[in-house]
Amino acid sequence: MKKKSNRNIVITGATGDIAQSLIKLLTQDQLFLLSRSLPRPNLPAHIDILINNSGFGIFEELTNLSESQIDEMFKINTTDLIKLTRVLHPDKIVNIASISGKIPTAKSSVYAASKAAVIAFSDAIRMEGKEVLTVNTGPVFTKFHANNGDYLKKVGKHAISSEFVAEKIVKNLDSKRRELNLPFSMALAAKARALSPKLFDKVSKKFFDYK
């Protein structure tokens, strides 16, 4: 399929590593970057693609999280995403969720719940006629884990680069694909858990409980 160009593309979480990798690849498009640390640009009336990339996570046991931390995770990961999608009404939506929405782990209860909500939201608006690509990533080498440096070391080969994620997204911007689960090993794990969640949780705890 021939790659389209000169599209109006909005990217949230624009200072993040995945967003920066996307920016380097989308040189033939008109990009509008949204971030809490950047001035809000004037957006065009028509948006071809909205890439919901903003994300925030605190990995602690539930009892160690404050109400404000819980609210902030859902606001950034879920509520803001839903509201912006409704307001901009783009032709295509790319929602960057997380494999945590399919494989929740200890110390990720609220984060996983917020990302599971993004997956469910994506599926629901797809049934309303929206074209949606949901991207569920496993651990990615980004500053998202800046406060949890040992985590990426523990997950080892299962961690992927922001460049890899961006390349996969760009490759599928003009496709009808519904979902990307990255990396392949995590995609297989998600399928295994869907088939037998109780057994999967018991067997895999030592492999996924790294946070």
Cα gap 132→191, rounded to integer Å = 20
What is the pLDDT, as a whole number, of residue 149? 52
Does 37 map to a domain?
yes
Sheet arrangement for strand 30-34: 30-34, 8-12, 49-52, 92-96, 131-137, 179-182
179 in Cβ contact with 187 (< 8 Å) = no
Helix (H) or strand (E) holding 85: helix 80-88
What is the pLDDT, as a whole number, of residue 198? 84
Does 1 map to a domain?
no
Does 77 map to a domain?
yes
Cα dihedral value 37, 38, 43, 46, nearest 10: -60
As for how many domains the chain has, the answer is: 1
Supply the range of the domain harboring residue 17.
Answer: 8-208
Q: What is the pLDDT along the chain (211 residues), one digit of tens a residue?
A: 556 789 999 999 999 999 999 999 999 999 999 999 999 999 999 999 999 999 999 999 999 999 999 999 999 999 999 999 999 999 999 999 999 999 998 899 999 999 999 999 999 999 999 999 999 998 887 665 555 555 555 555 668 899 999 999 999 999 999 999 998 887 888 888 888 888 878 766 655 555 5
Does 125 map to a domain?
yes
Residue numbers annotated as active site:
111
Does 3 map to a domain?
no
Does 2 map to a domain?
no
| For helices 109-127 and 67-74, angle between their N-to-C axes, nearest 10 degrees | 30
Q: What is the CATH number of the domain that holds 203?
A: 3.40.50.720
What is the pLDDT, as a whole number, of residue 204? 64
Does 68 map to a domain?
yes
Does 94 map to a domain?
yes
Cα gap 134→104, rounded to integer Å = 17
Which residues is 160 bridged to in the sheet?
140
Cα gap 103→79, rounded to integer Å = 21
CB atoms within 10 A of CB 39: 7
What is the pLDDT, as a whole number, of residue 1? 52
Place of tokens 């920016």: 23
What is the pLDDT, as a whole number, of residue 196? 87
